[in-house]
Structure 1
Amino acid sequence: MLKIGCHLSVAKGFHAMGKDALKIKANTFQFFTRNPRGSKAKEIDPKDAEDLLKLVSENKFATLLAHAPYTLNACSADERTREFATQVMADDLVRMEYLPHNLYNFHPGSHVGQGVEKGIEQITSLLNALLKPEQTTTVLLEAMAGKGTEVGSSFEQLKQILDGVILSDKVGVCLDTCHIYDGGYDILNDLDGVLDHFDQVIGLDRLYAIHLNDSMNPRGSHKDRHAKIGEGSLGLEAITRIINHPKLRDLPFFLETPNDLTGYAQEIALLRSIYKEL
């Protein structure tokens, strides 16, 4: 069965997100842990979290994905910004234990002129300071498009970060189809080659989730502009190959396309129609 969901608003609470997911025929979803462009987080109601866990279990949902705010930059040149990143991720990882055994995704960050190597060192240092053996959450590095001074736009950079993390079983990767295409990986014409390269550099066992997006821009543009499924430079045929690929088809897919709930419902129905059940 296709594991497919979209980005839902946590403002109404955990259980409400689960009900919204059911309305649009999703069997997983992604949510921001807090204001995506700020720092404020909604106080967690333990009963609300329990209600979501019950809904998830009863409806056989796939793994859920939480997303850190965009303001989290673990490799900023500004020390206060790095301290903010540490505080936010530390708090988020505590909060994630209300929804145990799920995923937490973050953008590695922008080195802002310090250089990639320094950025990687700072990201690794943050993860080593925060990850704990007892946590149930797996933290995912999101592959980026490479705009500006972003770190994590190549599989090799992601591998360097992963290699530096002491608790290696607590970290993995989330691939974003728009990001890696804009970053130069030809998933339109050579999906097999890209996945083989990922496997050689990082290992497909470290891939936990896919952000499924079309791209407004051509390969290698480094723009990071998401498009609706089938309406961008990747197109529906490429998306069909991605969700049906034997190395990807069992992973959870999360839509981050420019849509409202109705639009997401339409995309999910489309994707289910082109997914080939084995």
Structure 2
Amino acid sequence: MLRVGAHVSIAGGIDNAVGNERAVGGNCGQIFTHSPQVWQDPNVGDEEAEAFRETTAEHLDGPWVVHTSYLVNLCTPKEDLRAKSLDSMQKEVDAADKLGIEFVNVHLGAHTGAGVEAGLDNAVSVLDELSIPEGVTVLIESDAGSGTKLGGDFEHLAYVLEESDQDLDVCVDTAHTFAAGYDLSTAKGVKDTVEEFDDVVGLEHLRCIHLNDSKHACGTNKDEHAHIGEGEIGVEGMETLLNHPELADVPLVLETPTEDGKSFEWNIERVRQLREE
């Protein structure tokens, strides 16, 4: 079964996300529990959590993903930022548990001069301090790899998964992966990238894909999303990804732009057109 959805708004209450997802044609999806630009608690009420769980069970196939705040930096060497990141992550996994959401997605962040290995070790140490509820899994998201940000190389993801005491998995963002230098624009490029991911990380750890095309060329480290099939990854790459047998059951979450008269609804329909059933 094709599970595809988008990152939708929770304006007016988290339970509104279900209707917002249905409105764009999605059967799974992703949310922020609060504004991602500030340090803020999820603040999920009992009634809206119950309504969210009930309407999700009634109308969607799932899963849902909680995307953490953009301020979270697991790799930081700064103690104050580390403490804030840990506190924020703990509140996100607790909120996911309350909402019945299976996945919490997080970027590793930037080492800001500490170095790659130290940055990855910092991330592992924060993750290992979390008390993750049963039924919730933290996903480490692949990154575009600009500056001192980590997660652009598959080896970074594998290191964190191997070194952490937690049972972690991975979310691959296609635009980020492409920007980080993994060519997804051709059938051969997709095949080679999937094989490399399997060799380095393991496909059993791939639990979600952020399906986004890229406005910039492969290896530029520039993170700007494009409509499905209309960016630098293009139709061949997207069609190959969507029909790769090893990826067929992985949930797809779109973070495509709203521009040129096209929004999530157009992009989800585009995915359905490119997927061979």
Q: Tell me the equivalent position of 1:78.
A: 78
Q: Tell me the equivalent position of 1:201.
A: 200
Q: Tell me the equivalent position of 1:274.
A: 274
Residues 3, 251 of structure 1: 8 Å contact kept: yes
What's the secondary structure of 1:14's corresponding residue? coil
Q: Tell me the equivalent position of 2:172.
A: 175
Q: Tell me the equivalent position of 1:67.
A: 67
Q: Quick one: distance in 2 between partners of 1:23 and 1:38?
A: 28
What's the secondary structure of 1:30's corresponding residue? strand
Q: Tell me the equivalent position of 1:93.
A: 93
| TM-score normalized with structure 2 length | 0.94
What per-residue deviation string (whole Å, max 9, x for no partner) do you get for residues 39-91 of structure 1? 12352122212222222222242211110011001122322111110110011
Q: 1:252 aligned to 2:251?
A: yes
50-59 or 29-38, larger mean C-alpha shift = 50-59
What per-residue deviation string (whole Å, max 9, x for no partner) do you get for residues 205-264 of structure 1? 000000011101110001111112122101122111111111112111111111289611
What's the secondary structure of 1:10's corresponding residue? coil
- Equivalent position amino acid for 1:145 in 2: A
Residues 15, 52 of structure 1: 8 Å contact kept: yes
Q: Give every structure 1 segment of 4 or more consecutive aligned residues whose post-TM-superposition deviation is greater than 6 Å.
A: none
Q: How many residues of Structure 1 are paired with residues of Structure 2 in the alignment? A: 274
- Equivalent position amino acid for 2:111 in 1: H
Q: Quick one: distance in 2 between partners of 1:217 and 1:273?
A: 24
Q: Quick one: distance in 2 between partners of 1:20 and 1:175?
A: 24
Where in structure 2 are there 5+ consecutive unaligned residues?
none
- Provide closer, same or farther for how the CA distance between residues 136 and 48 of structure 1 changes in structure 2, counting only shifts above 3 A: same
Q: Quick one: distance in 1 between partners of 2:61 and 2:14?
A: 14
Q: Tell me the equivalent position of 1:149.
A: 148
Residues 174, 212 of structure 2: 8 Å contact kept: yes
Q: Quick one: distance in 2 between partners of 1:7 and 1:262?
A: 15
Q: Tell me the equivalent position of 1:214.
A: 213
- Equivalent position amino acid for 1:7 in 2: H
What's the secondary structure of 2:140's corresponding residue? strand
Q: Quick one: distance in 1 between partners of 2:33 and 2:120?
A: 24
- Equivalent position amino acid for 1:181 in 2: F
What per-residue deviation string (whole Å, max 9, x for no partner) do you get for residues 12-65 of structure 1? 222211011112211011111221111123521222122222222222422111
Q: Quick one: distance in 1 between partners of 2:184 and 2:246?
A: 13
2:185 to 164, 183, 188: 188
Q: Quick one: distance in 1 between partners of 2:11 and 2:39?
A: 14
- Equivalent position amino acid for 2:180 in 1: G
Q: 1:118 aligned to 2:115?
A: no
- Equivalent position amino acid for 1:48 in 2: E
Q: Quick one: distance in 2 between partners of 1:15 and 1:262?
A: 25
Q: Quick one: distance in 1 between partners of 2:139 and 2:147?
A: 21
What per-residue deviation string (whole Å, max 9, x for no partner) do you get for residues 147-180 of structure 1? 0001111111111111111132xx1000000000
Residues 18, 56 of structure 1: 8 Å contact kept: yes
- Equivalent position amino acid for 2:166 in 1: L
- Equivalent position amino acid for 1:256 in 2: E
Deviation at 1:185, TM superposition (A): 0.5
Residues 77, 122 of structure 2: 8 Å contact kept: no
Where in structure 1 are there 5+ consecutive unaligned residues?
none
